[in-house]
Amino acid sequence: MSDSATILIGPLLRHVDTEAATVWVETTAPSTVTVRLDDGPSASEETWTVHGHHFALVIVEGIEAGTVYSYRVDIDGVECWPIDDGFPDSLICPPAREDELRLTFGSCRRTAPFDHEHLKSIGADALAALATRMATADPKTWPDVLVFLGDQVYADNPSDEMVAKLEDLHDEDDPIRCEVHNFEEYTWLYEESWKMPPIRWLLSTVPTCMILDDHDLRDDWNSSWSWRQEIVKEPWWRDRVLGAFGSYWIYQHLGNLSPRELKEEEAYMQMRQATDEETRSRIVDELAWRADSDPGSERWSFYRDFGRNRLIVIDSRCSRTLDPDNRRMVDDVEWRWLVDKANTSVDHLLVGTTLPYLLLPGIHDLEGWNEATAEGAWGKTYAKLGEKIRRAVDLEHWAAFRTSFDEMASLLNDVASGDGAPASVLVMSGDVHCSYTAEAHLPDADNSPTRVHQLVMSPFRNPLQRTVRVINRFLCSRVAHGLLGRAARRAGVVEPDITWAVDHGPWFENGLMTVEIDGRAAKVIVEIAEHEGTEQKLKLRGEYALSGLASEDDVTVGATSALG
């Protein structure tokens, strides 16, 4: 143990239920991490070292539902958290009721300072604004959980400060000189992103769920078969894979798991039982390489129950099948797991997928047309062009994997029309750097009490350029939907069984969404991030009923659809 050890990153409050909580920490040296709950239990854990970095995931058992605990973190017996940074003590709040949930979500957060220059160029940070509001609010109004739906870090497009650091390290002729290369450099991304004071406090006091998307790894990861064939030949590929998946497993994935699931995570148990850093690092490297070369060997998808409500978060990036003749958003093993977890008796089923399932209509048609032409619907010449278009403009959402799109529609139909159907199925997504809500209708569920909605919130902080917004607005229009829909039909793409329309949005500002559940009733609150000088705050865009209320007029506030 080290006399000088302290916290490097964290603490992060990860999994909380009515019996236990997990707290993740990275320290500066090997040490003993103790989490102490005021007027409650405590737990200690020895750190484990991987590639020179020291981690602990402390499981605190014996907490009681409905009790609010402030907590402290000791490193080798010395209190290192909380710190004097202007924020209140961090709390652990086991849920008091099984029929209530407040879940905040979004995606796509660039790391940048909160100075005038960066606030002007990329706007206010929705998470920093949330933290600022929470610091003076009643904890009863805080989110019960914060769900990160991808692009928590940008490995291929890091901050200016990180680029300068990378340029000092790598040769001028390095093709990825300004991108992260390996495990060590990925750790810098997490430190930079999670140590900003408001973000650090927010992550210490609100439980979090996280799933990766392409920028957590590299832009366009697993976008197509041709991308895959080209990228694996790059000399830097192996180090990138080991760094991307190894760091993701440690920094994001392990905290998604419950204490029971951690005991069932074979690689985690092997690593904990290992007695030296070299063995632990090898175990993590082997897991990372398998996760990419054999996606079925590691499941990134997970689920979490919140009383009478279930959240299922789908890996829609790494478990893909890319065979041009059998493209799937998730492979057969992952799909069977999803079907099993979705068939359950709950008040509300929440499904997280980084990529929107129901796109804005014109973009849905464009992706369907592109998939068909890339597969040869208009001949070999168009097939080559279609593949180039797919990769150039990121046509890789559920609509571009039509088999999986139809399978998901069938699953939603089964859930909504089955016995004990939930009051709502809420599909939550990010990725597209715009936000909207869309209600869907299913052919066999017309008489079902279940309402199905697509909720998209992106970005937390990474807005689209104005020119791209204009293009997106056109693709959202009825004119584009008509033109692209006809092109898709000419390419042999049939109309899907599921239908939907955008009810509210699209919006292009930084922001976040919060789903509030009370029994069988649910609503979504949409907020955008603004700033006055360097003060960051959230502004209400609207509140919209999702299920269980007599009339949408009961809660609807703010703008509706911006589509013409």
- From CA 433, how far away is CA 103, in angstroms rounded? 20
In whole angstroms, give the CA distance from residue 72 to residue 84: 13
State the pLDDT at residue 107: 98
Model pLDDT, residue 3: 64
The angle at the Cα of 116, spanning 115 to 117, to the nearest 5 degrees, equals: 95
Domains defined along the chain, listed by start: 301-510 (3.30.750.180)
pLDDT value for 561: 44
Between strands 208-211 and 145-149, the pairing is parallel
What contacts 258, CB < 8 A, 6 or more positions away? Answer: 15, 17, 20, 304
> How far is 521 from 179, CA to CA, in rounded Å?
45
* Cβ count near 313 (within 10 Å): 23
**111-116 contacts, C-beta under 8 A, 24 or more apart:** 111/153, 111/154, 111/158, 111/159, 111/162, 111/189, 111/192, 111/193, 111/196, 112/159, 112/160, 112/461, 114/196, 114/534, 114/536, 115/534, 116/533, 116/534
Residue 564 confidence (pLDDT): 33
377 close to 492: Cβ distance less than 8 angstroms: yes
Task: Provide the pLDDT for residue 36.
Answer: 99
CA dist., res. 555 & res. 558, Å (int) = 10
Res 291: pLDDT: 96
Separation of alpha carbons 339 and 415, rounded Å: 10
Residue type, 103: L
Q: Please tell me whether residue 208 adopts helix, strand or coil conformation.
A: strand
pTM of the model: 0.96
Residue-by-residue pLDDT tens, the chain, 564 positions = 556 899 999 999 999 999 999 999 999 999 999 999 999 999 999 999 999 999 999 999 999 999 999 999 999 999 999 999 999 999 999 999 999 999 999 999 999 999 999 999 999 999 999 999 999 999 999 999 999 999 999 999 999 999 999 999 999 999 999 999 999 999 999 999 999 999 999 999 999 999 999 999 888 899 999 999 999 999 999 999 999 999 999 999 999 999 999 999 999 999 999 999 999 999 999 999 999 999 989 999 999 999 999 999 999 999 999 998 899 999 999 999 999 999 999 999 999 999 999 999 999 999 999 999 999 999 988 889 998 999 888 899 999 999 999 999 999 999 999 888 999 999 999 999 999 999 999 988 878 999 999 999 999 999 988 887 888 788 778 888 899 999 999 999 999 999 998 999 999 999 999 999 999 999 999 999 999 999 999 999 999 999 986 344 445 555 444 433
Distance of CA 509 to the CA centre of its chain: 18
DSSP letter string, 400-430: GSHHHHHHHHHHHHHHHHSTT--SEEEEEE-
Q: Which residue has the tokens 């004119």?
A: 479
Contacts of 15 by beta carbon, 8 Å cutoff, 6+ apart: 21, 22, 207, 255, 256, 257, 258, 259, 304
Question: Is residue 132 within 8 Å of residue 200, measured between CB atoms?
Answer: no
